Amino acid sequence: MSPHPATAPTQRADGPRRAVSQKTAVCVVYVAGLFLSTLDMTIVNVALPTIGRAFDVPSTAVDTVSISYLVALAVSVPASGWLGDRFGGKRTLLTAIAVFTLGSALCGTAQSLGELVLFRVLQGVGGGMLASVGMAMLLRAFRPEERVRASAVLSVANGLAPTMGPVLGGILVTQVSWRAIFYVNVPVGAFAVAFGALCLRNEPARPSERFDLPGFLLAASGFGLVMYGVSVGPEQGWSTAPVLAALVCGTLLLTALTATELRSRAPMIDVRLLRDRLFASGTTVMTIESVTFLGALFTLTLYLQDAREMSPLTAGLTTFPEALGVVTGSQLASRVLYRRLRPRRHLMLGAGATSAVIAAMGLLLRPSTPLWVVVALLFCMGLAIGQVFVGTQSASFATISDASSGRASTLFNVGRRIGGAAGVAVATTVLVTVAGASRATGSGDPAGYRAAFLTLAAVNLLGLYAATRVSDSDAASTVPPPRKGRRGKAPTGTPPSDPTSTSTTSHKELRT
């Protein structure tokens, strides 16, 4: 039996890779890429007014800078799993990060809005590819019982990047230039590519799998149209012809995609994986949590700027305790709660607490609410969301084979990406409807924020229900064994490790 990919000995010819384990290498490269692609979903928003003035275009036109990135993400994600399997994870992941980094550098040199939108599409293509491929590599590098610790590392990127975006964007736009928000990605991306080229091991490619062209065309067009409709719906109105056409056509294409992929031998989007109750439940929880997380973060930013008259930079700094809560909650989850509560109760705790905190925001936040209350609620929201991030990423793939991990990661990331865009759309729609204004950002009506928070809290109850469908027995392999008692004594009752992998224990230790 061959060693597990994460623990196999590295050959002498590997050079610098000998000093870095594959677990560390995958985490460093994937987290760096994921952090950049997630950061770019929020960092650009602060710079949009400045970009509009620089190119002398109206605000309605400059929104395409953000929308083009989101649509490109949705279009490129479906092919990412196949590309990783076909050409190997290392090649695909490093190519994706290189494409994203190149797109970032070109965005900084753009001389017109059209050029900037084109380069943002290039960024989105790279960002969409790296998310699924990197997650599949992570699943193969870590045994099931080790994934909870890896998920805690990923949660730093998922939780910290969206909150850091407005802060970093505000500093760079005011102190340097709007172009700097793109240039800042270049050194990090270059480091990730160089480090990965030296330290990542090549994964075997699967050239026998044929490209599912009908599935790709249906998925790319369907997800792209849905993402476009969800992104522009709050601004243009849900009943306008372009939005309705995008949503209806996108839905019809995704319906056709489902029927086509169920008949395909090698589907691009393997919807049959959703028959796995554990994977389907975990993916649903993550999708709903993405809706509420980014929707609540968006609403909070507007509340701080409109109701409390803070500058964008000050508002971004005020929301930062939420990121600290995610980091703290992720560590608490990976070290204590996931093991003690088991996956089902752990996810129920995280989803239920998230709804409770967001509902409390709707009931307590007013223009006169003490700032320490806002900060405390933000931190608590991060604590709760950290549990869901770690729990879903650890448990969802327990019953998914290594061969299917690429396609499963694709489905998981499609839900997360579209969920985030839908969260902003839901919040904006409620704010506009309740405030009775044409733009939510010009309102400042406390009733609008209250309704948005309470709506998001109610939507998140769907995630709580999905968490009740998680089976502890199905996810048992992902629960870490009890910690060692006395030094040198192995814990009793430790679950057996993955039978497809070998232990990292040396031959000398085995003889002892």
Q: Are residues 169 and 293 in the same domain?
A: no
Asked whether residue 474 is assigned to any structural domain, the reply reads: yes
SS (H, E, C) 349-387: HHHHHHHHHHHHHHHHCCCCCCHHHHHHHHHHHHHHHHH
Using the 8-state DSSP alphabet, how is residue 14 labeled? G
199-230 pLDDT, tens per residue? 998 776 666 568 888 999 999 999 999 999 98
Say if residues 160 and 327 touch (Cβ distance below 8 Å): yes
Q: pLDDT category, 11, cuts 50, 70, 90? A: very low
Report the range out of 276-285, 298-307, 414-423 with the highest average pLDDT: 276-285
Residue identified by tokens 């080229």 is 197
Of the candidate ranges 128-132, 203-207, 240-244, 470-474, the one whose mean pLDDT is the lowest: 203-207
Q: Which of 120, 133, 129, 147 is nearest to 40 (CA)?
A: 120
Alpha carbons 153 and 147: distance in angstroms, whole number:
10
Q: Are residues 188 and 317 in the same domain?
A: no
Three-state SS at 268: coil
Q: Are residues 59 and 196 in the same domain?
A: yes
Q: pLDDT category, 108, cuts 50, 70, 90? A: very high
How large is the average pLDDT for residues 192-200? 94
Q: pLDDT category, 63, cuts 50, 70, 90? A: confident
Work out the percent of the chain whose per-residue pLDDT is above 70.
87
Query: Over 80: is that where the pLDDT of 450 sits?
Result: yes
Q: How many domains does the chain have?
A: 2
Boundary residue ending a domain (170, 185, 211): 211
Report the chain's mean pLDDT, rounded to a whole number: 84
List the helix and strand counts (H, then E) for the chain.
Answer: 18, 0
Q: Are residues 278 and 188 in the same domain?
A: no
Query: Over 80: is that where the pLDDT of 352 sits?
Result: yes
Q: Are residues 207 and 279 in the same domain?
A: no
458-477 pLDDT, tens per residue? 999 999 999 999 999 999 99
Query: Over 80: is that where the pLDDT of 288 sits?
Result: yes
Q: pLDDT category, 403, cuts 50, 70, 90? A: confident
pLDDT at position 493: 41
Identify the CATH number of the domain in which residue 83 sits: 1.20.1250.20
Amino acid at site 109: T
How large is the average pLDDT for residues 181-198? 95
Of the candidate ranges 66-80, 375-389, 430-444, 485-499, the one whose mean pLDDT is the lowest: 485-499
Query: Over 80: is that where the pLDDT of 16 sits?
Result: no
Alpha carbons 507 and 512: distance in angstroms, whole number:
9
Say if residues 296 and 358 touch (Cβ distance below 8 Å): yes
- Which residues, at least 6 apart from 396, have a Cβ–Cβ distance to it below 8 Å? 278, 279, 281, 282, 283, 286, 408, 412
Asked whether residue 319 is assigned to any structural domain, the reply reads: yes
Asked whether residue 398 is assigned to any structural domain, the reply reads: yes
Asked whether residue 238 is assigned to any structural domain, the reply reads: no
Of the candidate ranges 27-41, 302-316, 486-500, the one whose mean pLDDT is the lowest: 486-500
Of the candidate ranges 93-102, 174-183, 402-411, 493-502, the one whose mean pLDDT is the lowest: 493-502
Phi, psi of 7 (to 5 degrees): -120, 0
Of the candidate ranges 146-160, 279-293, 388-402, the one whose mean pLDDT is the lowest: 146-160
Q: Are residues 283 and 193 in the same domain?
A: no
Q: Are residues 179 and 54 in the same domain?
A: yes
DSSP secondary structure string, 186-233? HHHHHHHHHHHHHHPPPPPP-TTSPP-HHHHHHHHHHHHHHHHHHHHH
Query: Over 90: is that where the pLDDT of 447 sits?
Result: no
Burial 387-402 (b: 16+ CB within 10 A, else e): bbbbbbbbbbbbbbee
pLDDT at position 490: 46
Q: pLDDT category, 497, cuts 50, 70, 90? A: very low
Q: How far apart are the first and last CA of the chain?
A: 22
pLDDT at position 107: 95
Query: Over 60: is that where the pLDDT of 374 sits?
Result: yes
Asked whether residue 157 is assigned to any structural domain, the reply reads: no
Q: Are residues 190 and 280 in the same domain?
A: no
Asked whether residue 265 is assigned to any structural domain, the reply reads: no
pLDDT at position 506: 35
Alpha carbons 338 and 288: distance in angstroms, whole number:
20
pLDDT at position 502: 35
Residue identified by tokens 């985030």 is 420
Q: Which of 58, 35, 284, 49 is nearest to 161 (CA)?
A: 35
Of the candidate ranges 66-70, 382-386, 421-425, 495-499, the one whose mean pLDDT is the lowest: 495-499
Q: Which domain, by its residues, includes 298?
A: 271-480
Alpha carbons 309 and 108: distance in angstroms, whole number:
30
Asked whether residue 225 is assigned to any structural domain, the reply reads: no
How large is the average pLDDT for residues 253-261? 93
Alpha carbons 317 and 326: distance in angstroms, whole number:
15
Asked whether residue 223 is assigned to any structural domain, the reply reads: no
Q: Would the pTM count as exceeding 0.95?
A: no
Structure tokens, 258: 């489902």
Q: pLDDT category, 298, cuts 50, 70, 90? A: confident
Say if residues 452 and 432 touch (Cβ distance below 8 Å): no
| Residues across the chain | 512
Q: Are residues 139 and 64 in the same domain?
A: yes
pLDDT at position 120: 94
pLDDT at position 311: 81
Structure tokens, 362: 């709707």
Q: Are residues 319 and 424 in the same domain?
A: yes
Q: pLDDT category, 329, cuts 50, 70, 90? A: very high
How large is the average pLDDT for residues 2-8? 42
Q: Are residues 47 and 188 in the same domain?
A: yes
Alpha carbons 241 and 306: distance in angstroms, whole number:
31
Q: Are residues 461 and 373 in the same domain?
A: yes
Q: pLDDT category, 498, cuts 50, 70, 90? A: very low
